[in-house]
Structure 1
Amino acid sequence: MKLIKVKDGLLEVENFFLTSSFSDFAGSANVTRDMSTGKMKLISNNKIERNFTYTEFVVELEKENFNDVGIDDHCSLYFGNDKYAFGIREMKQGEQHKFWKILKEDNYVQAYASDDGINYTNIGGMNFIDAVLHQGFEKYSNEDFILDNYKVYASPYVTIQNFPENTVCELYDSNNNLLKTRTFNGDLECKIFLDSNIQGYFIFKDSTGNQIYKSDLLDLKYGDVYVFSKYELEVIYNGLVVTNTSPVVLKDLQESITIKNIDTKDYAGLKIEIQTASDDLIQLSLDGSAYSDSVSLDLLQGQSKDVFVKITKNVDNHNFSVRDFQLVIDE
């Protein structure tokens, strides 16, 4: 038995403003970026804007503060459509923050600011039932607006699945401080709100307080999904074990992964399927020729078998994320 990370919380693999074409966001603005440092600069006093159609999300970014903020100077992060907008704006020298975070869930928006990316202050929220169509940055200053990092996540929660109802889940940080306690519901699932991305671990207890399982120290990120699995399997891609680590990015639309039985018993008739929220067609094969929605395989103790993955991109899906799926394994 083990706790396995089955879905990474990132909705986009890379920093959109660092890797996308300038035509996707720059417009008439004067923008530069340096791939070696990961910095993007908005030099001119106007805005840059991208298409943004996620219904629920967490956007967390790191920027550089202005050295001096004049009477009319400002910088802002905004989301919205052709009628309405919401976001964060800084207009005073002493009210600048290096980290911004905005989340949208159940038609409610919440904004946060932080100086260290760990301890966030809630700076306001509002109902926003309209669809978000775009997201951008705007500034007015003699100084450049410098974006150091930009990530888009699926939700503010870490989700854990497959423990019995009423099982207690305790989240601890790397210093063994108890941060939060939650209970599994009737769907055998619990969600834990993350105040920031952290290193931490889980302890699971039954309804009488007896410890069932303690996880390893994990890098926990917004939107991650973990499953408590009865199978002792490793998933290997490009020679690296990806089980219990951050899922890797498939380099191409047709790849192979290896599944290895590291248990002390044989497995027969394992059914492997794909689960995805994207519109892409993702299919599996055992021979690299005949693809279907699922495959079945037997694995003896210590045995490894290759599974081929083919992704057919939907014509309307312009997201450069290739690996937005998870493997579902059952008997």
Structure 2
Amino acid sequence: MKLIKVKDGLLEVENFFLTSSFSDFAGESSVTRDISTGKLKLISNNKIERKFKYDEFVMELEKENFNSIDEDDYSIIYLGNDHYTFGIKDKKQDEQHKFWKIIKQDNYIQAYISDDGINYTNIGGMNFTDIITKQGFEKYNKDEFILDNYKIYSNPYVTIQNFPENVVCELYDLNNNLLKSRTFDDDLECKVFLDGNIQGYFIFKDSNGNQIYRSDLLNLIYGDVYVFSQYELEIIYNGSVVTSTIPTTLKDLQESITIKNVDSIDYKELKLGIETISDDLIQLSLDGVTYLNTISLDLLQGQSKDVFIKITKNPNNYNFCVRDFQLVING
């Protein structure tokens, strides 16, 4: 038995403002960026703005505070469309915050601020049913607006699947403090709200309070999905084992991975398939020639087999982000 990570919560693998063309967001603004440090600087007193396509998300960023703020100075993150905007604004010297977070889920927006990126304060929310089409930053100050980090995740939860209904899931931090307790529903799933990305572990208990399983220490990230699997398998890509704490990114549209049985028993007729929310066609093959939506294989104890993955990009999908899919294994 094993708790394995099957989906990474990031909606964008890289920082959009570091990897996209300046024409995608800079407009007439004076902007510089340094890939080695991960910093983007808005120098001029105006804005940078990108097209935004996500209906639900967690946006978390780290910035640098201004040295001083005069009466009319400010910095702001905003989202919206041609009719409405909302966001977070710093406009007083002693009320600046290095970390901003915005969550949109079920047509509701919530905004948070933090000084350490761990402890967040909710500063308000609103119902927002309109489609969001843009997101940007704007500033007015003699200092540069410096963006240190920028991430977008699918939702504010860690989702765990495949435990029986009424099993209790407890989340603990590094210091063994109990943070959250949730119960699995009749879909064999529970969602644990994260106040921030943390290191922690889970303990699962039956209805009588008896421990069923304790996970390893995990890097818990917004939007991640874990599955409790009866199979002891290793997934190997580019010579490294893909683990629950180290996700991987396929480097090309046609790749191969290795699946190894590390259990003490043989597995017969394992069925492998793909789940994805993208419009791309992702198929599997055992010979690198014939690709199918699902394949079947046997794995003896200690045996390894190569599985080929081919991704056919949808013509309307211009982002080369070959990551957002799950490899599903069933008996």
Bin of the TM-score, shorter chain as denominator length:
over 0.9
**Aligned mates of 1:318, 1:113 — CA distance in 2:** 33
Q: 1:95 Cα deviation (Å)?
A: 0.7
Q: Residue 275 of structure 1 aligns with which residue?
A: 275
**Aligned mates of 1:27, 1:208 — CA distance in 2:** 61
Q: 1:109 Cα deviation (Å)?
A: 0.3
**Aligned mates of 2:304, 2:63 — CA distance in 1:** 45
Q: Residue 235 of structure 2 aligns with which residue?
A: 235
Q: Residue 194 of structure 1 aligns with which residue?
A: 194
Q: Unaligned regions of 5+ residues in structure 2, if any? A: none
Is residue 95 of structure 2 the alignment partner of residue 95 of structure 1?
yes
SS in 2 for 1:18: helix
Q: 1:164 Cα deviation (Å)?
A: 0.3
TM-score w.r.t. the length of structure 2 is 0.99
1:43 maps to a residue whose letter is: I
**Aligned mates of 2:25, 2:320 — CA distance in 1:** 15
Structure 1 residues 2-11 or 241-250, which shifts more?
Answer: 241-250
Q: Unaligned regions of 5+ residues in structure 1, if any? A: none
5 Å matches for 1:58-207? 58-207=58-207
Is residue 327 of structure 2 the alignment partner of residue 327 of structure 1?
yes
Q: 1:318 Cα deviation (Å)?
A: 2.5
2:160 maps to a residue whose letter is: I
Q: 1:320 Cα deviation (Å)?
A: 3.1
**Aligned mates of 1:46, 1:329 — CA distance in 2:** 50
Q: 1:315 Cα deviation (Å)?
A: 1.7
- What do the CA deviations read for 1:232-267 (whole angstroms, capped 9, x no partner)? 001010111113233201111111011000000111
Q: Residue 219 of structure 1 aligns with which residue?
A: 219
**Aligned mates of 1:127, 1:282 — CA distance in 2:** 36
- What do the CA deviations read for 1:157-193 (whole angstroms, capped 9, x no partner)? 0000000000000000011000000000000000000
2:265 maps to a residue whose letter is: K
SS in 2 for 1:17: helix
- What do the CA deviations read for 1:5-24 (whole angstroms, capped 9, x no partner)? 00000000000000111111
SS in 1 for 2:94: helix
**Aligned mates of 1:89, 1:314 — CA distance in 2:** 38
- What do the CA deviations read for 1:295-327 (whole angstroms, capped 9, x no partner)? 111100000001111111112222332111010
**8 A Cα contact 1:170 1:203, kept in partner:** yes
- What do the CA deviations read for 1:104-162 (whole angstroms, capped 9, x no partner)? 00000000000110000101100000111111101111110000000000000000000
**Aligned mates of 1:318, 1:84 — CA distance in 2:** 27
RMSD over equivalenced CA pairs, Å: 0.7
Q: Residue 248 of structure 1 aligns with which residue?
A: 248
**Aligned mates of 1:217, 1:229 — CA distance in 2:** 17
**8 A Cα contact 1:274 1:283, kept in partner:** yes
TM-score w.r.t. the length of structure 1 is 0.99
Structure 1 residues 32-41 or 239-248, which shifts more?
Answer: 239-248
Is residue 266 of structure 2 the alignment partner of residue 266 of structure 1?
yes
Q: Residue 40 of structure 1 aligns with which residue?
A: 40
**Aligned mates of 2:237, 2:57 — CA distance in 1:** 28
What stretches of structure 1 move > 3 A for 4+ residues in a row?
none
SS in 2 for 1:27: coil
1:208 maps to a residue whose letter is: N
Structure 1 residues 310-319 or 231-240, which shifts more?
Answer: 310-319
Count of residue pairs the alignment pairs up = 331
